[in-house]
């Protein structure tokens, strides 16, 4: 067993003495007892008023082990507003178009969309969030979809040699991808239709979509009823390349299976994601589409210290997070309704408790992973 710990550490997992002792102790328990411990831990956090969460879903996938915890447990067809985690799907769709030869990451954005101020902006610059991409006026100030497009048309690209996490680039990317689809098929379909069809038919994700129907119970979107929380996305009819998707834990388990088999991104492209990074305003390492990478000694990072250097994560403004470790093939998601329906904002102490819960779930995942390895010995 100690050799397994050494292998984990050699691949970037940071395991403190306290965690090592706790993991060893938990490894003496049965898998059923560990599941009970996970549920007790989650209920403990749900009882904290300052956490500000009523609906919560946790999904875990480790080899043949799958676990989904839902609270409340009796709610069917519940989907969570995943906010900026939408960018992971936008990146995937863009990657697939590149594999089909329909888009070239090294070509200019102006080759695909007739916007006047993008003469030096390449697709790869948008994906890597390089330089400055902004509009004249806020997209969230638009009165309707038509006005939204007029403001987006003013988008400007300025070379600053800086990398900044921003939504505007991926809103623009969504429009570019929409144009490519419509030109290829000689039709006019909105981006929401294109991605919903792609998610359903190509990725076989039956519970991830823009603008879900009335048969679904939507949570995490505050007081916005059937629309996402993100203000600019809401104005644009509920969809952009930056936000707007709703999903559940079951679909992220399916995504994890594809990721771990390099059927979501190729190993070559995944290596590019891992080898490119920039620091955000909280000194967290980010990559393509704003994906989080392993950042040591940063309590606000969404990749747990326990996980390997081959991990990625994403998080949305609505509070939900998804994590994937390509070395251990551990995945977990924590989907929440952190946006208060009255105030339309998160609790002041939400992030404190969310990071605590994230680290506890990561520890339980590591215990399950090690128990699986122990069975093989």
Residues 261-285: tens digit of each pLDDT: 999 999 999 999 999 999 999 999 9
Q: Which two tokens stand for residue 24?
A: 């060893």
Same domain assignment for residues 110 and 76? no
Q: What is the pLDDT of residue 341?
A: 86
Phi and psi, residue 325, nearest 5°: -110, 110
Asked if residue 234 is part of any domain, the answer here is no
Same domain assignment for residues 169 and 121? yes
DSSP state of 140: G
Same domain assignment for residues 197 and 146? yes
Residue 186: how many other CB atoms lie within 10 Å = 6
Taking the C-alpha atoms of residue 158 and residue 166, their distance in angstroms, rounded to an integer, is: 14
Report how many domains make up the chain: 2
Asked if residue 223 is part of any domain, the answer here is no
Domain-ending residue, one of 150, 180, 206: 206
Same domain assignment for residues 180 and 196? yes
Q: What is the pLDDT of residue 2?
A: 85
Same domain assignment for residues 71 and 110? no
Domain-ending residue, one of 156, 183, 206: 206
Asked if residue 93 is part of any domain, the answer here is yes
Same domain assignment for residues 183 and 265? no
Same domain assignment for residues 180 and 271? no
Asked if residue 236 is part of any domain, the answer here is no
Residues of the chain above pLDDT 90, percent: 90
Contacts of 326 (CB under 8 A, 6+ apart): 259, 260, 270, 308, 310, 311, 312
Same domain assignment for residues 199 and 180? yes
Residue ranges making up the domain that contains 100: 83-206
0.85 exceeded by the pTM? yes
Asked if residue 217 is part of any domain, the answer here is no
Taking the C-alpha atoms of residue 275 and residue 354, their distance in angstroms, rounded to an integer, is: 27
Contacts of 185 (CB under 8 A, 6+ apart): none
Asked if residue 48 is part of any domain, the answer here is yes
Same domain assignment for residues 51 and 165? no
Asked if residue 226 is part of any domain, the answer here is no
Burial annotation 237-275 (CB, 10 A radius, 16+ → b, else e):
bbbbbbbbbbbbbbbbbbbbeebbeeebbeeebbebbbe
Taking the C-alpha atoms of residue 264 and residue 257, their distance in angstroms, rounded to an integer, is: 9
Same domain assignment for residues 77 and 96? no
Burial class (CB in 10 A: 0-12, 13-18, 19+), 161: exposed
Q: What is the pLDDT along the chain (377 residues), one digit of tens a residue?
A: 789 999 999 999 999 999 999 999 999 999 999 999 999 999 999 999 999 999 999 999 999 999 999 999 877 899 999 999 999 999 999 999 999 999 999 999 999 999 999 989 999 999 999 989 999 999 999 999 999 999 999 999 998 888 889 899 999 999 999 999 999 999 999 999 999 999 999 999 999 999 999 999 999 999 998 999 999 999 999 999 999 999 999 999 999 999 999 999 999 999 999 999 999 999 999 999 999 999 988 888 999 999 999 999 999 999 999 999 999 999 999 999 999 988 889 999 999 999 999 999 999 999 999 999 988 87
Same domain assignment for residues 50 and 106? no
Same domain assignment for residues 250 and 369? yes
Q: What is the pLDDT of residue 74?
A: 77
CATH number for the domain including 270? 3.40.710
Asked if residue 296 is part of any domain, the answer here is yes
Burial class (CB in 10 A: 0-12, 13-18, 19+), 319: buried
Q: 82 with 316: CB under 8 angstroms? A: yes
Q: What is the pLDDT of residue 376?
A: 82
């Amino acid at each position: 067993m100690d050799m397994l710990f050494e292998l984990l550490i050699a691949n970037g997992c940071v395991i403190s003495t306290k965690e090592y002792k706790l993991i060893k102790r938990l490894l003496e328990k049965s898998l059923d007892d560990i599941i009970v411990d996970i549920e007790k831990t989650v209920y403990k956090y749900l009882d904290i008023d300052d956490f500000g969460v009523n609906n919560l879903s946790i999904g875990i996938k480790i080899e043949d082990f799958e676990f989904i915890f839902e609270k409340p447990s009796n709610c069917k067809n519940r989907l969570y507003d995943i906010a900026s985690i939408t960018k992971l799907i936008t990146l995937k769709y863009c990657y697939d178009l590149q594999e089909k030869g329909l888009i070239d990451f090294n070509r200019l954005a102006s080759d695909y969309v007739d916007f006047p101020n993008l003469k030096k902006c390449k697709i790869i610059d948008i994906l890597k969030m390089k330089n400055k991409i902004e509009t004249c006026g806020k997209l969230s100030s638009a009165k309707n979809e038509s006005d939204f497009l007029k403001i987006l048309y003013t988008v400007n690209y300025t070379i600053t040699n800086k990398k900044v996490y921003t939504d505007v680039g991926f809103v623009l990317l969504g429009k570019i991808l929409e144009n490519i689809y419509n030109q290829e098929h000689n039709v006019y379909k909105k981006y929401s239709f294109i991605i919903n069809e792609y998610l359903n038919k190509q990725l076989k994700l039956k519970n991830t979509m823009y603008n879900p129907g009335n048969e679904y119970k939507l949570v995490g979107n505050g007081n916005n009823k059937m629309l996402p929380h993100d203000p600019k996305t809401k104005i644009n009819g509920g969809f952009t390349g930056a936000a707007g998707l709703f999903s559940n834990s079951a679909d992220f388990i399916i995504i994890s299976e594809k990721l771990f088999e390099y059927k979501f991104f190729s190993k070559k492209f995944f290596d590019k994601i891992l080898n490119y990074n920039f620091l955000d305003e909280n000194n967290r390492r980010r990559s393509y589409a704003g994906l989080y990478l392993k950042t040591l000694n940063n309590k606000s990072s969404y990749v747990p210290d326990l996980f390997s250097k081959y991990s990625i994560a994403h998080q949305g403004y609505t509070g939900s997070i998804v994590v994937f470790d390509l070395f251990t093939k551990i995945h977990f998601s924590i989907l929440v309704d952190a946006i208060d329906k009255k105030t339309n904002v998160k609790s002041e102490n939400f992030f404190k408790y969310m990071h605590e819960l994230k680290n506890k779930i990561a520890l339980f995942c590591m215990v399950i992973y090690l128990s699986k390895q122990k069975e093989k010995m």
